[in-house]
Structure 1
Amino acid sequence: MAETFRKSKVEHYISLLTLRRDTLKQQLERAEFDGQREYLQGQLSAIDLIVNEIASEFALDLSHPKSKPHGEE
């Protein structure tokens, strides 16, 4: 049971990182963020790296998300 609980927490954390990633991608598409483009791209790359490392470490399949961030339906 503890292993399932930990995996669930890791999956939830990845879903939060994915939400941040989506927000950064939306900001990259908006003109008012043009001055911060390089910073946003760096943040996006860092989040991608973290998600991939976590998925690899915990042997998670990210091809189909199982859960959404808390409060999102």
Structure 2
Amino acid sequence: MGRKTPRYDGMARSLVAGLAGLSLLGLSACAGHQPAPPAPTVTPDQVRTHADKAFDKLKQEEQQRAVSPTMP
């Protein structure tokens, strides 16, 4: 009486095979993911240089605006 019927035995094997297949798919999906390359680091000197250039450009635009009158 302790013996399983063939129907339940087949269902158990199918369940185990299905879970094993899902596990393998999950592992292969994670293993295939390539991490993004690290973002390039910007040194404080580069930030300062870019800020200085932008500020100089802004000053130049303001000087040009003061020299040429705007048309109404």
User: TM-score, with normalisation over the residues of structure 2?
Assistant: 0.40
Structure with higher Rg: it is: 2
Q: Which has the higher helix share?
A: 1
